[in-house]
Chain A
Amino acid sequence: MKKRKLISSVLAILLVASILMFAGCSNGEKETSGDDSEVIKIGTFGPLTGPVAAYGSVMVNSAKLAIDEINENGGIDGKQIQLIDYDTKADASEAVNIYNKLRDQDEVVAIIGGTISGETLAVKELAIADGMPMLTPTATHLDVTLDAPSIFRACYTDPYQGAAIAKYSIENLDGKSAAILYNTDDSYSVGLAETYKESFEEAGLEITNFEGYTANEVDYSAILSNVKDKNPDIIFLPDYYDTVGKIATAIRNMGLEQIVVGVDGWDSVEINYAEQVEGYYFVNHFAKTDKADIVQNFISAYKTKYNTDPNALGALGYDAAYVLVEAIKAAGSTDSEAIVAALSKIEYSGVTGTIRFDDQGDVTQKDIAIIKIVDGDHELLEKIVVE
């Protein structure tokens, strides 16, 4: 009995000691991780496995590519940058764990992320409380930057692209009437459908069909027959490439001859449905076929490193890494407040156009690429800016 008591008290003492030691340790590290350390750590996260793995992995790979290039060119004032990436599996609570790990264990100075809106919103309050500089390349949900002074966004928001494609449909495609087919289970699709509808109605034009479908819909013939009956000039499909491909197939099968337009979710639709989407238009963050050197250099560098083509999420991740590094350089320190202040003043011309932030932390006046699908490839028609 006595022996047992002895052991347990020894264990208790050891436990207390180890807690104190650990606390001491992390304090000590924090002090040295300031200006004296040789590496600057930046965190990033996104879904690298699971159903939307393609999004996170391309974004993180592109950010890595950018950081490697910067390191080769001397890093930030001679200091190398280390990019630490984690897999959220598109899970919000996993994202919170990762954020805490990045802050406490890895002690990053800033974060590039998250990739999708859900995980970014999950860590939003934490980032605000910590004043952590966070630049999301790809989270399009409006609330991400709302009342969040330290959070910035490198891509345009959904209302912006919805207004852009509506403007293009009216002015350049000469649309007098349009049908909108949207996914009622997805806020991205619903939001875009409403923006497009508003723009059309403001211009005094007619929306002939405003038809919703559910996420697990496969047979679009019923709603497309209704569209055909009303015979509008344009069909707007705000959804991701997988669904767009299915609807485009039904449109072709039923012999509808309308011009079909879409949004950034269309990126990659030509991989499996080139024939069906031929001649259709969509807006995107960048065009693969843009002749500009910066775009082609990014694409060839990505191809050399990973052996596949990047998509728009990659281009945004790549730009976000450069923007963040520019901000750290401009700030002259790794202090959170200084980085946030530098970010709000930055102006950087990247693969996806000029990035500068408004008071909210969103990009303003950003170029939006109008793309036509020609011979199964993206043809850049023009880049427009919407007020």
Chain B
Amino acid sequence: MLLIQQLINGLQVGSIYAVIALGYTMVYGIIKLINFAHGEVMMMGAYFAFLAAVAGMPIWAVFLISMVLSAILGMVIERVAYKPLRSAPRISSLITAIAMSLFLQNLALFIFKADPKVMPTIIKNNPVTIGSLQISNITIITFLVSVVFMVILTIFISKTKSGKAMRAVSQDTEAAMLMGINVNSTISLTFAIGSALAALGGILYAIAYTQVMPTMGLLPGLKAFVAAVLGGIGIIPGAMIGGFILGFIETLTKAYISSRWADAIVFGILIVVLSVKPTGILGKNIREKV
């Protein structure tokens, strides 16, 4: 029984990691860039939600405003920081991503100050009893909301024209351009969707753990990155699977080993995956064509 309870706990963190990991993986898939500023977009999303909630907006407006503003933020970051470096060596854009992450963190520190802000309760707490299990309604909502958005994203990518364009650009940018796909706007769209999902992760995180602060994006961001690598970076279902697996591992470590080991084990997984199967769970080994 305890194990089931712990797995449910893992589901909550896992779904937040999965949502954030999606943005990492989409951006990597399309421009082969590990966007280290992604965790900070999540943090900004949480702050947008905090401001909207403090202003007394209804819950749907809180989600909408935060996700839209974060999508715009993501597109701006891409235009300003990454687009000029698209033909530069990959290491340049990677360093720029780290710089962007630090910039956003310090910007938040400057605007919102270092002390943590307490998120207003926008979802009333009301534990649900199923048999002998007692589950927080916030856990259930977190899980459902993230699953709904994952389904929407999957349909969007496989069924719509823009989704097709995204897949084409990620397979071969130049060929896609020759086929008449507007690469720039497709990349912008990817950043917008990824950042909106990061904001969603940020909102769910702020609701579940009650606080927003400038450094809040750092650890979830890194863990989502591990999740994306674990599932196979660049592969969308992989990010979801990776996120959930990571959530389970982290929670079970805390429950049965020790909280001190949780982060060490999570980052240990990154090392193991990179050395054993660098392409991740769903990744296929693609032979380099000569």
Measured between beta carbons, the chain A residues less than 8 angstroms from B107 are none
User: Quick one: given A51-B114, A229-B2, are A246 and B211 in contact (CB under 8 Å)?
Assistant: yes
Per-residue interface assignment for chain B, residues 105 to 142, with 1 indicating a CB less than 8 Å from any chain A CB and 0 otherwise: 00000000011101001000101010000101011000
Q: Does B5 contact A (CB under 8 A)?
A: yes
Q: Is the CB of A254 within 8 A of B136?
A: yes
Q: Is the CB of A273 within 8 A of B118?
A: yes
Chain A residue with the shortest CB-CB distance to B16 = A219
With the chains together, A213 CA to B262 CA distance in Å? 10
Per-residue interface assignment for chain A, residues 221 to 241, with 1 indicating a CB less than 8 Å from any chain B CB and 0 otherwise: 111011011000000000000
Q: Does B275 contact A (CB under 8 A)?
A: no
Q: Does B6 contact A (CB under 8 A)?
A: yes
With the chains together, A245 CA to B115 CA distance in Å? 14
Chain A's interface: helix, strand, loop or mixed, by majority? Answer: helix
User: Quick one: given A214-B259, A254-B134, A273-B118, are A249 and B210 in contact (CB under 8 Å)?
Assistant: yes
Q: How many residue pairs between the two chains, A and B, have CB atoms under 8 Å in the bound complex?
A: 81
Chain A residue with the shortest CB-CB distance to B211 = A246
- Tell me which of B192-200, B236-244, B250-258 binds A: B250-258
**Which of under 10, 10 to 19, 20 to 34, or 35 or more describes the interface residues of B?**
35 or more
Q: Does A253 contact B (CB under 8 A)?
A: yes
| A99-158 contacts to B (CB < 8 Å) | none
Q: Is the CB of A245 within 8 A of B210?
A: yes
Measured between C-beta atoms, what is the minimum distance from A187 to chain B in Å? 16
**Interchain CB contact (< 8 A) of A51 among B115, B134, B138, B252:** B115
Q: Is the CB of A212 within 8 A of B258?
A: yes
**Interchain CB contact (< 8 A) of B251 among A213, A221, A246, A255:** A221
Q: Is the CB of A253 within 8 A of B258?
A: no
Q: Is the CB of A211 within 8 A of B9?
A: no
Q: Does A218 contact B (CB under 8 A)?
A: yes
Q: Is the CB of B260 within 8 A of A184?
A: yes
Q: Does A289 contact B (CB under 8 A)?
A: no
With the chains together, A254 CA to B114 CA distance in Å? 29
Q: Is the CB of A213 within 8 A of B259?
A: yes
Q: Does B13 contact A (CB under 8 A)?
A: yes
Q: Is the CB of A225 within 8 A of B255?
A: yes
Measured between beta carbons, the chain B residues less than 8 angstroms from A219 are 9, 12-13, 208-209, 250-251, 254
Q: Is the CB of B219 within 8 A of A226?
A: no
Q: Is the CB of A222 within 8 A of B251?
A: yes
Chain B's interface: helix, strand, loop or mixed, by majority? Answer: helix
User: Quick one: given A212-B259, A225-B255, A272-B118, are A253 and B125 in contact (CB under 8 Å)?
Assistant: yes
Q: Is the CB of A255 within 8 A of B127?
A: yes
| B227-270 contacts to A (CB < 8 Å) | 250-252, 254-255, 258-260, 262-263
**Which of under 10, 10 to 19, 20 to 34, or 35 or more describes the interface residues of A?**
20 to 34
Measured between beta carbons, the chain B residues less than 8 angstroms from A222 are 6, 9-10, 251-252, 254-255, 259
With the chains together, A222 CA to B102 CA distance in Å? 31
**Interchain CB contact (< 8 A) of A242 among B2, B116, B262, B263:** B116
Chain A residue with the shortest CB-CB distance to B210 = A249
Q: Is the CB of B125 within 8 A of A252?
A: yes
Per-residue interface assignment for chain B, residues 10 to 35, with 1 indicating a CB less than 8 Å from any chain A CB and 0 otherwise: 10110000000000000000000000
Q: Does A307 contact B (CB under 8 A)?
A: no
With the chains together, A245 CA to B119 CA distance in Å? 12
Q: Is the CB of B209 within 8 A of A218?
A: yes
Q: Does A216 contact B (CB under 8 A)?
A: yes
With the chains together, A218 CA to B115 CA distance in Å? 15
With the chains together, A211 CA to B129 CA distance in Å? 25
Measured between beta carbons, the chain B residues less than 8 angstroms from A31 are none
Measured between beta carbons, the chain A residues less than 8 angstroms from B114 are 51
Q: Is the CB of A245 within 8 A of B118?
A: yes
Measured between beta carbons, the chain A residues less than 8 angstroms from B2 are 225-226, 229
Chain A residue with the shortest CB-CB distance to B259 = A213
With the chains together, A212 CA to B219 CA distance in Å? 19
Measured between C-beta atoms, what is the minimum distance from B110 to chain A in Å? 15
| 10 tightest Cβ-Cβ pairs between the two chains A and B | A255-B127, A222-B254, A221-B9, A253-B136, A272-B118, A222-B255, A218-B209, A213-B259, A255-B134, A222-B251
4 new A-B pairs (CB below 8 Å) besides A211-B259, A222-B254, A245-B118?
A51-B114, A212-B258, A218-B211, A222-B9
The contact sample of 6 A-B pairs, CB cut-off 8 A, is A212-B259, A219-B13, A219-B208, A219-B250, A219-B254, A273-B210
